[in-house]
Structure 1
C-alpha cells in the first residue's frame, strides 16, 4: 500500500502545505520542565483553547437538531428521526474525513468541511421554521451531520504525531502521550456533555434556532483558525528517515479494534436514549427548553472522572476499568428510572457521568495503543463518529418509545444500553485475557 500524502511529503523535507519542513527538535529532558510545559512548547499555547472551542459544533449538532425540530414541529418522534439522519450523515462521511486527512492533510479537509457545514446549518434552521416537509428537513440534517467538523480526532492525531515525531522513543515520550490522551479525553467529554448546556442556555434566551446558528458561527471562525494552525503540517517522525509504511485499511477490521467503536456507539446510545427520555420528562413539567441545562448535570461527574482516572494505578487494567465504569452507568440508569423530580434526575445524571467519563477515557486510551501504523486519524475519527451515530440512532428510537410509553420507558432503554455496554466490556475482557494467556496481550 502506498504511503499517505502528509507522511511522504514530510519525508521529502516538505510540510503538508508545501513549505519547508523544520527539523524536529526533541523535547529537552531537564527535570525542571513539566510535562505540561513540554507539550505547550511542542504545539503552542493557543492550540488547546482553539481546539476545544472548535469541537463544539460537532458536539452540538445532534442535540441542537433535536431541540429545534421538537420545539418548532411539536413532535418528539419527528425530532428523533431528524437527529438520526444527522447521525447517519456522520456515520457515512465521518470516517472518510479521517481517511482523507491521513492521505491529503488536515487543512484542506477542514476548510472544505467547515464551509459546507456552515451552509447546511443555516439552511437547516430556515427549513425547519418554514412549511416544507419534514423529509426535506431530514435531508438537510443528513448534510449537517456529513459535514460536521471532525476536530476532536484530528486534534488528537496532531498531538500524538507531534509528540512521536519530536521526542525520542524513551521514558520522555510515554508521559507526554499519557498527558495527551488525558487532555483529549477530558476535552471530548466536556464538549459532548457541556455542548447541550450551551444549547439549553441559547435556546432559552434566544429561541430554539439560536444554538445551531451559533454552531455555524463557531465553525466559520474557530474551525477555520484550527485548520490554519501551524500544527496542521504534521512533522517527520524521529525513528527513520524512510518512515514506516502505513498499515492496510483492512487492519482496522480486526475484532479487538472493532470492539472499540462498538463500545463508543453504546456510549452514544446511552446519551441519545437518556436525552429523549429527559426531554419528555422536562416537557411534562413545562421546562423543555431547559433540557440541555439539566442534561449538563452529567458533566459534573464525567469531567471529574475523566481527569481523575489518569491517576488510577496501572495494575488496574484498562479492560477492568471499562467494566467498572460501565457498571456505574448501569446503576445510575436504575436511579433515572426511579426518579420523580428534576433534582433527583440531575443527581442521577451526575452519577451516570462518572461512569460515562471513565468509559470514554478508557476507550480512547485503548485505541491509542491498538491503532495500526499510520491509521491514527482514521481510527480516532471512527470512534468519535460511532459516539455520534449511537447518540443519533438511539435518539430516534428513544423518541418513539418515550412518546408512546412515557419517559420511564425511555430511561429503561438507557438502562438496557448500559447493560449492553457491560457485555461489550466483558467480550473485550475475555478476548484480551485469552491473548495475555497466549503471550500476545499486554493487559489492555
Structure 2
C-alpha cells in the first residue's frame, strides 16, 4: 500500500477553513454565553486544593497538617469524581451538578467552621467531602461538546470537531489551573485565608448552577447518552484496558505539573524571588495553552498515539533540560517548551478517552481522567515539595523528568497494546 501524499498548501487552507466553519457551527449550537459559563465554572474546582491548603496553614499553623488535609481533598476527588460521572451518565448532568454544588457549599461552610479547632481527622473528612462534591465542570463540558461534535454530517467533520473540542477544553483547563491558584493567593493576601472558599461558594451559585441548567445539558451529551443508556455497559465495565492505561497517563501528566510547580517554587526561593514563582511557572501553562489551541490544526494523519509519543519526547527533553538552567528567564523558556510537550500529550489522552469510552459512559470516563489529572498533581506537589525542601530544586526537576519519562513509557505501552485503533482515533 502506498503512503499518502503530504497535504498541499491548498489542502491545509481547506482544513483550516473547515475548522473555522466547525467552530462557528459549534458556537451556534451552544450559544456564545455557554463558553464563559463553562470556563468560569471551572474555577471553584481549580481553587479547591490550594484554597484548602492555604486555609489550614493559616488556621492551624502547620504545613504538615495542611498537607494531610489537602491530600484528603484529593482522595475525595479520586473517589467521587468517577461516581459523579457515572451518575451523570445515568440520570443526566443537571441533577448531579446541582446536588454536588449544594453539597460542596455545605462542605465549604463546614470546613471554615472546623478548620482551626476540630481534630485533624475531622478536618480531613470535611476536606474529603469538599473534594468529592465540588463540581468538575471541565469533564461535563467535554462530554457535552463531544456529543455535539458527533452530530456532524461526515466522518471528516466529526474528526475535526472532536479535535477542536479537545483543543479548546485543554486550553481552558490550563488557563483555569493557572488562574485558580493565582486567585487564591490574591484573595488571601488582600482579604483573608477564608476568602477563596467564600468566592468558590459564590461562583458555584452564580455560575456553576447556571451551567448545570444550560440547554446544552439536555441537547448534547445527555441526550446522546440517554439514548445509549438503554444499552449502557454496567459501571464495573466502564474502564476497559484501554481506558485504564489512559487513566495512568492522565495521573502521570498531572504529576508532572505538580512536580514542576514545587520545583520552580524551590528554584525561585533559592534565589530570594519566591514571590515570582507563579509568574515563571505560568510560562509552562502558556506553552500548554498555545499548543492545545494549535492541535486542532495538526493533520489527521499524525494520529493521536503518535502525537503522544512525539510530544511526550518533547516534554521529557525539556524537563531534563531544566537541570541545566541557572536563571529565571532560561527557566521560563524551557518551561514553555515543557508546556508544549505536556499540553499536546494531554489533548491526546482526553481525545483517546472520548473515543474509547464504552456505550453510555462518556461522562464517566472523562470525569475519571480529569480526577486522575488533579490527583496526580496533588500527590506530586506533596512529594515534590518534600523532596525539593530537603534536597533543593534540582531534586524536584529530577522527579519531574522521571515522571515525564513515565508518561512516555505509558504512551509506548498504549500504542503497543491498542495501536490497531489508531485509524479510528
Q: TM-score, normalised by structure 1?
A: 0.82
Query: 1:209-248 to 2 correspondence within 5 Å?
Result: 209-234=194-219, 245-248=231-234
- Structure 1: 5+ residue runs without aligned partners? 1-30
Counterpart residue number, 1:359? 345
Pick closer, same or farther for the CA change 1:328–1:172 going to 2, 3 Å.
Answer: closer
Aligned-pair CA distance for 1:431: 1.6
User: Does structure 2 conserve the Cα–Cα contact (< 8 Å) formed by 1:196 and 1:293?
Assistant: no
Count of matched residue positions in the alignment of Structure 1 and Structure 2: 407
Aligned-pair CA distance for 1:170: 5.2
Pick closer, same or farther for the CA change 1:93–1:348 going to 2, 3 Å.
Answer: same
Aligned residues: CA RMSD? 3.0
- The answer as to 2:48 corresponding to 1:61 is yes
- The answer as to 2:166 corresponding to 1:181 is yes
Aligned-pair CA distance for 1:285: 5.0
Pick closer, same or farther for the CA change 1:75–1:274 going to 2, 3 Å.
Answer: farther
Query: 1:232-311 to 2 correspondence within 5 Å?
Result: 232-234=217-219, 245-285=231-271, 288=274, 290-311=276-297
Aligned-pair CA distance for 1:91: 0.5
User: Does structure 2 conserve the Cα–Cα contact (< 8 Å) formed by 1:237 and 1:243?
Assistant: no
Counterpart residue number, 2:405? 419
- The answer as to 2:64 corresponding to 1:83 is no
Counterpart residue number, 2:133? 147
Which stretches of structure 1, 4 residues or more, deviate above 6 A after TM superposition? Answer: 236-244
Counterpart residue number, 1:92? 79
Tell me the secondary structure at the aligned position of residue 253 of structure 1: coil
Pick closer, same or farther for the CA change 1:371–1:32 going to 2, 3 Å.
Answer: closer
Query: Residue deviations 1:273-297, cap 9 Å, x none?
Result: 2223333444455555554343322
Tell me the secondary structure at the aligned position of residue 232 of structure 2: coil
Pick closer, same or farther for the CA change 1:216–1:341 going to 2, 3 Å.
Answer: farther
Tell me the secondary structure at the aligned position of residue 359 of structure 2: coil
Aligned-pair CA distance for 1:241: 8.2
Query: Residue deviations 1:169-205, cap 9 Å, x none?
Result: 5555443333222222222222223333333443443
Aligned-pair CA distance for 1:100: 0.7
Aligned-pair CA distance for 1:423: 0.8
Query: Residue deviations 1:81-119, cap 9 Å, x none?
Result: 332211110001010000111111111111111122223
1:313 to 299, 306, 326: 299
CA distance in 2, matches of 1:328, 1:33: 28
Q: TM-score, normalised by structure 2?
A: 0.86
Aligned-pair CA distance for 1:252: 3.0
1:377 to 346, 358, 363: 363
2:383 to 397, 408, 418: 397
CA distance in 1, matches of 2:293, 2:212: 27
CA distance in 2, matches of 1:355, 1:61: 26
Counterpart residue number, 2:8? none
Counterpart residue number, 1:45? 32
Counterpart residue number, 2:175? 190
CA distance in 2, matches of 1:145, 1:213: 15
Counterpart residue number, 1:328? 314
Aligned-pair CA distance for 1:443: 6.5
CA distance in 1, matches of 2:257, 2:210: 30
User: Does structure 2 conserve the Cα–Cα contact (< 8 Å) formed by 1:42 and 1:163?
Assistant: no
1:206 to 191, 206, 226: 191
Pick closer, same or farther for the CA change 1:424–1:350 going to 2, 3 Å.
Answer: same
Counterpart residue number, 2:7? none
CA distance in 1, matches of 2:225, 2:203: 38
CA distance in 2, matches of 1:374, 1:175: 22
Counterpart residue number, 1:346? 332
CA distance in 2, matches of 1:72, 1:239: 44
Tell me the secondary structure at the aligned position of residue 34 of structure 1: helix
- The answer as to 2:423 corresponding to 1:442 is yes
Counterpart residue number, 2:4? none
- The answer as to 2:367 corresponding to 1:386 is no
Aligned-pair CA distance for 1:270: 1.2
Query: Residue deviations 1:380-423, cap 9 Å, x none?
Result: 10100010111122222223223332332222211211111111
CA distance in 1, matches of 2:39, 2:100: 17
